[in-house]
Amino acid sequence: MENAKEYEWISFDVPDHIVAGAGEAINLRFSIKNIQNVKRKFRVAIGYRIEESDSTVDWKSVFNIGKKNEVSLLGQGKFEDDLDIDPLKSKNVDITINAPKGAFPDDRMTMTISIDSEDGVHRFTKTIDIVLKPVIVALKTTVGSEIQVAVDLNNRAEKDREDRSGDGKKLPSEVYAIMAPYEIKGYIFVETMHPDRISYLARDIRGYKGMVSGKIDLEEIAHYLTPKPAVSGLELGSLVELVEGPFKGEKAKIISIDSVKEEVTVQLVESMVPIPVTVKAESIRQLK
């Protein structure tokens, strides 16, 4: 296989491995340039092989090569088309793969794209693996209703799963997981195979404000999955307010921090006699 970066005649900046959710559109583009001074023909051949849990589910594709062709893809097959390119001119090839909405995790398509010039001077081959995995999407909520929206969406997804199941066949829920981080107001995150179905399930839930376009990378929100220590951000001498216990509402100064027990010892600042009080870190609120 030729390395596309070493040749002026083709620009093919498409990854070898693509992860997508069911129902998503995967857009691929590459460009072929006729670097000679005569008109030339290029053959573009696209072979595919699909591995999926339900073999009756078809993938949709639009191949825009010499002309636009909309094709349903099942099992395995091959599609070919020719490009006539004028001297020293370029033409783009656009491929859109629509992953099926009824797909399951780890369903995949292996696609091999071959480009040959009719005169035999140029040849290029690339294999692309498209794997379907759950994706994470963000939903907008009214501030303060994040938890309730998450609970209602989970209940709605479970009811939907029951409605779709039948004849002893238990289908998976459209919602794999929901996260509503305390630190983020007005948003929740949903893991799903079918992002196109989430807005439908949430459509009339009280507090739901819409779905944010695009996917969320797990790395962007992974730190919310590990709770921060309650003493995180506290410093000796900081002014705090006690929010629980017999001294609730009193202001105090931190004089000791126990990171292992996640406790702090504070001294009440308005007390006639300096009284040290040891409390859980969750029982105080830091004041600015």
- Tens-digit pLDDT profile for residues 97-149: 998 877 889 999 999 999 999 999 999 999 999 999 898 999 999 999 999 99
SS (H, E, C) 51-74: ECCCCCCCEEEEEECCCEEEEEEC
8 Å CB contact between 108 and 131: yes
Does residue 234 surpass a pLDDT of 90?
no
pLDDT range class, residue 3, cuts 50, 70, 90: very low
pLDDT level of residue 155 (50, 70, 90 thresholds) = very high
In this prediction, residues 170-188 reach a mean pLDDT of: 89
CATH superfamily of 135-225: NusG, N-terminal domain (3.30.70.940)
pLDDT attached to residue 251:
92
List, in order, residues 6 or more apart from 120 with CB less than 8 Å away: none
Q: Which CATH architecture has domain 239-286?
A: Roll (2.30)
**Residue 92: band (very low, low, confident or very high) from pLDDT cuts 50, 70, 90:** very high
- For tokens 């830091």, name the residue: 286
Domain 4-132 homologous superfamily, CATH: Immunoglobulins (2.60.40.10)
The two tokens of residue 107 are 């369903």
Provide mean pLDDT across the span 160-185: 86
Share of the chain above pLDDT 90, in %: 56
**CB under 8 Å to 146, separation ≥6 — which residues?**
180, 184, 185, 186, 187, 188, 207
Of 92, 82, 68, the residue nearest 115 (C-alpha):
82
Q: How many residues does the chain have?
A: 288
CA distance 170 to 18: 29
Find the range with the poorest average confidence among 3-17, 25-39, 233-247: 3-17
1 pLDDT higher than 80: no
Cα end-to-end span (Å), the chain: 63
Check residue 164 and give its pLDDT.
83
Q: Are 43 and 66 in contact (CB under 8 A)?
A: no
The structural domains of the chain, with segments of one domain joined by +, span 4-132, 135-225, 239-286
Strand partners, 286: 240
Q: For 248-285, write each residue's pLDDT tens digit.
A: 899 999 999 998 888 999 999 888 888 899 999 888 88
pLDDT tier for residue 4 given thresholds of 50, 70 and 90: very low
Say if 4-132 and 135-225 have the same CATH topology. no
Q: Which residue has the tokens 């599609």?
A: 79
Q: Is 153 left (phi over 0), alpha (psi -120 to 50) or beta?
A: alpha
Residues 158-166, mean pLDDT to the nearest whole number: 87
For the stretch 29-77, pLDDT in tens is: 999 999 999 999 999 999 999 999 888 888 999 999 888 888 899 899 9
Phi, psi of 150 (to 5 degrees): -60, -45
Q: How far is it, in rounded angstroms, from Cα 246 to Cα 44?
A: 78
* pTM: predicted TM-score of the whole model, two decimal places: 0.62
Report DSSP state, residue 85: E
Residue 5 pLDDT: 43
Cα distance between residue 46 and residue 114, in whole Å: 6
CA 69 to chain centre: 29
